[in-house]
């Protein structure tokens, strides 16, 4: 099943959701800001994304810029930070089978689904 990690306030996230709806895909919406991922869920998602945790961080987010930008944080710390502050996670993320992508640009969904 397809999962979309969705933030309804994000234009890109709404576009990805609409794309899935328009394609008639069956999917589950994960509202990760209301229900933050557990440590294991986030670790599993990062593995499917095939990227280091730092690449999942929204580096333009004010919280990152003001509190963490110039710090040398390890993977475990970054994962813990995203659990505590899920708004720091890139979005939207679409997961399908053993893969996941950050949907930027929207065209990456064509290669996943």
| Cis status, amide bond into 105, omega within 30 of 0 | yes
User: In this structure, is the dihedral angle defined by the CA atoms of residues 96, 101, 102 and 108, taken in order, positive or negative?
Assistant: negative
Residues labelled as active-site residues: 10
Q: Which structural domains are found in the chain, ordered by start?
A: 2-112 (3.40.30.10)
pLDDT, position 110:
83
Average the pLDDT over 73-83 and give the result: 97
Residue 97, classified by CB atoms within 10 Å of its CB into exposed (0-12), middle (13-18) or buried (19+), is exposed
pLDDT, position 112:
74
The model's pTM is 0.92
Tens of pLDDT, residue by residue over 20-74, are 999 999 999 999 999 999 999 999 999 999 999 999 999 999 999 999 999 999 9
């Amino acid at each position: 099943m397809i999962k979309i990690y969705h933030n309804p306030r994000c234009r890109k996230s709404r576009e990805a959701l609409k794309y899935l709806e328009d394609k008639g895909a069956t999917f589950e919406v994960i509202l990760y800001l209301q229900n933050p991922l557990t440590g294991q869920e986030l670790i599993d998602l990062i593995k499917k994304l095939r990227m280091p945790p730092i690449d999942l961080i929204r580096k333009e987010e004010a919280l990152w810029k003001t509190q963490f930008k110039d710090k040398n944080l390890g993977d475990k710390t970054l994962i813990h930070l995203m659990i505590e502050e899920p708004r720091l996670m890139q979005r939207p993320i679409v997961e399908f089978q053993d893969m996941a992508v950050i949907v930027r640009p929207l065209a990456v969904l064509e290669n996943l689904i």
